[in-house]
Amino acid sequence: MSDNLSSFLGSAEGIPKRVMPIFFMIDTSGSMEGKKIGAVNSAIEELIPDLRHLSESQADSEIRIGIMKFSTGCEWITPSLMSLDSFDDWEPLEAEGLTDFGAALLELNDKLSKNGFMDRGAASSGFYAPVIILLSDGDPTDDYMSALKVIQANKWYQSALKIAIAIGEDANRDVLKKAIKNVELLFTVNNIGSLRKIIRFIAVTSSQIASTSASVDDESEEQPANVNDVRSTAAEHQMAEAAKIMLEEESDSMFVGNEEPKPVTDEMTSSNNNADDDDDDWE
């Protein structure tokens, strides 16, 4: 028997790694200026090695990142979903302008499609359900409701693990709740240390969850074909609980204070590991 299949399976292109897309939508409006945008910059810079470690440990998946900033209008920092190697040097984001959240949602909707970021061309791998992380400290200044209706019809958005981080007390939590639906995954942070920690924790943990629950996970809740956006798994609940505990430990210092940003330590990782010990779903 000729063995074309064995040769194919043994080749690099035989069984491609599936892509685990992580989208960051970052509010870079004027109110983010100073410590807030500084903390976001630090967190993303520090996050990359963690994600690289995670990506390398998973034989059958590859993490790729898309980053969009929105203020007056919106703009992709990344021209497509980029490999983690593309982030060796992080160019700090700057903050100014309005909060055009609606424009950002429409742009995300555009890229959450085969004509956008969700197709890497012929002969490439498939995708896990994306992780979408929203960060905002204010109120939308454009018509976000109609944009929300549009994106909520997007199948990738429906299946995505959506998390929102409300930065400071002025952030409009109701808007973020509407955008993510699962209120458990809305986190409010009031200090720099919390913001840096939560971004790292959420990005790493959510990508672990998404890469298991959208493939074969016996504990994942089934998603009926004709019901919009009801994703909620035990693993997501565990993540939310662990994140809350982490935030409570960081609850004192506020953005208005003069505190220096606290360095992020291995605590984040250990907190994640503790959660793993509690429930196999985290694997």
Partner 1 sequence: MRYEGFAVSERGYQHILNNTICQDSSQYIQTKDCTVACVADGHGSKQYFRSNRGSQFASEIACRKVLEFIRTVSFPFENAESENKSVMQLIHSIITEWHIAVRNDVIKNPFTREELDKVPEKYFSEFDIFSEEKSGSYTDEERRKIIQDKNTHIPKTYGTTLIVFGVHENYAIGLHIGDGKCVALYKDGSMDEPVPWDENCHLNRCTSICDSNASEEFRYYIWHGERLPVAVFAGTDGIDDTFANMLHTFYRNVALDFLHNDFRDSVDIFQKKLADISKAGSHDDVSVAGIINISELYGIETKLKNITKLESVEKQQNQLIEKINELNFKLDKLRRISSNENTSEKTDAYEVKIKTLEKELESCKENLSLAEKNISNLKKIINEDEETLKESPVNDTEDIKDIEVTEITENTESAEIIENTESTESAETTDSTESAKITDSTESVEITDSTENAETTDSTESVETTDSTENSENSETDVTAEEWEDDDN
Say whether residue 116 binds partner 1 (CB under 8 A).
no
Closest by CA position to 238, among listed 187, 275, 206:
275
Burial profile 255-277: b = 16 or more Cβ within 10 angstroms, e = fewer: beeeeebeebeeebeebbeebbe
Least distance in angstroms from the C-beta of 223 to partner 1: 4
Name the segment binding partner 1 (CB under 8 A); options: 49-57, 134-142, 155-163, 244-252.
Answer: 155-163
Instruction: Measure CA of the first residue to CA of the last residue in the chain; give whole Å.
Output: 40
**Cβ closer to partner 1: 31 or 159?**
159
Count residues contacting partner 1 (CB under 8 A)?
A: 53
CA–CA–CA angle 80, 163, 50 (5° rounding): 65
Q: From residue 200 to residue 239, what is the string marking binding to partner 1 with x (rule CB under 8 A)? A: -------------xxxxxx-xxxxxxxx------------
Q: Are 111 and 117 a contacting pair, CB within 8 Å?
A: yes
Say whether residue 4 binds partner 1 (CB under 8 A).
yes
Closest by CA position to 54, among listed 272, 264, 242, 217:
272
Q: From residue 30 to residue 69, what is the string marking binding to partner 1 with x (rule CB under 8 A)? A: ------------------------------x---------
Provide the residue type at 207 as one letter.
S
Which residues 85-114 are close enough to bind partner 1 by CB under 8 A? 85-86, 88-89, 91
Strand partners, 69: 26, 75
Closest by CA position to 281, among listed 203, 218, 231, 198:
218
Q: Contacting partner 1 (CB under 8 A), which of 41, 72, 125, 172? A: 125
Strand partners, 61: 18
Q: How far apart are alpha carbons 176 and 34 in whole angstroms?
A: 22
Q: Contacting partner 1 (CB under 8 A), which of 129, 133, 165, 204? A: 129
**Cβ closer to partner 1: 16 or 261?**
16
Say whether residue 79 binds partner 1 (CB under 8 A).
yes
Tell me which residues touch partner 1 (CB under 8 A): 1-9, 11, 13-16, 18, 60, 78-80, 82-83, 85-86, 88-89, 91, 120-126, 128-129, 155-156, 158-159, 213-218, 220-227
